[in-house]
């Protein structure tokens, strides 16, 4: 696997694979930042996308597999 493939972030890969839109990714990133500012805790982008119903657990697994993490 190329380093370029492994260095991509979860959200970018999810967009690249056609699982989410860039607007959905930006919304999830905004949510992530706001939650971190309010509570000091940081959720993973994939968790936020799943909670919002933008991505399925199977798609999350596919993104992680593509990234070489799973």
Q: What is the mean pLDDT of each run of 10 residues along the chain (70 residues)?
A: 60 97 96 94 94 98 90
Structure tokens at 30: 């905004």
The domain containing residue 51 runs over which residues?
3-67
- pLDDT computed for residue 69 by the predictor: 83
- In the chain, beta strands by DSSP E: none
Domain count, the chain: 1
Q: Which two tokens stand for residue 48?
A: 């936020």
Contact 65, 14 (CB under 8 A): no
pTM of the model: 0.85
Cβ–Cβ < 8 Å for 24, 54:
yes
């Amino acid at each position: 696997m190329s380093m370029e493939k492994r260095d991509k972030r979860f959200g970018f890969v999810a967009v690249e694979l056609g699982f989410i839109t860039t607007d959905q990714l930006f919304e999830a990133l905004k949510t992530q930042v706001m939650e971190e500012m309010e509570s000091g805790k940081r959720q993973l982008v994939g968790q936020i996308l799943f909670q919002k119903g933008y991505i399925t657990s199977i798609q999350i697994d596919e993104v992680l597999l593509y990234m070489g993490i799973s």
